[in-house]
Amino acid sequence: MHEFSITSSIISILKKIADEKKLKNIKKINLLLNPLGGVEKESVQFYFEFLSKDDPLFKNCCLVFKKDTLKAICLDCESEFESSLNELGKCKFCNSSNIKIITSDDISIISIDV
């Protein structure tokens, strides 16, 4: 159910931007999902359609979801690297398993097309 509040926040942010930039219509919203975030894109899509259905700013707007890669730091050699969930476990530089995932937001707005 947290997707409802996330989607409401996305809409609020975009309305503020549209107001500041005097935008009349947003055609596409590009979103980045954290693979560990637990946000269900289907739920965001559902709530977006529900919450924006009567708003001309979002008429015929589509959501595009992209999964982010995991970012990690090795606590031994201090190298930062990207990894998929399946590959995560060892540092790509020194092979240490002493790594920490660098967290990011569960979902982010990358860009919009107007």
For every residue of the chain, DSSP letters joined together read: -HHHHHHHHHHHHHHHHHHHHT-S---EEEEEE-TTS---HHHHHHHHHHHHTT-GGGTT-EEEEEEPPEEEEETTT--EEEE-TTTTTS-TTT--S-EEEE---SEEEEEEE-
Report the percentage of the chain scoring pLDDT > 70. Answer: 99
Domain ranges within the chain, ordered by starting residue: 2-69+104-113
Q: What pLDDT does residue 22 have?
A: 97
**Residues ≥6 apart with Cβ < 8 Å to 89:** 97, 99
pLDDT in tens, 59-88: 999 999 999 888 999 999 999 999 877 777
CATH architecture label of 2-69+104-113: 2-Layer Sandwich (3.30)
Task: Categorize the per-residue pLDDT at 1 as very low, low, confident or very high, splitting at 50, 70 and 90.
Answer: low
pLDDT in tens, 39-62: 999 999 999 999 999 999 999 999
- The model's pTM: 0.86
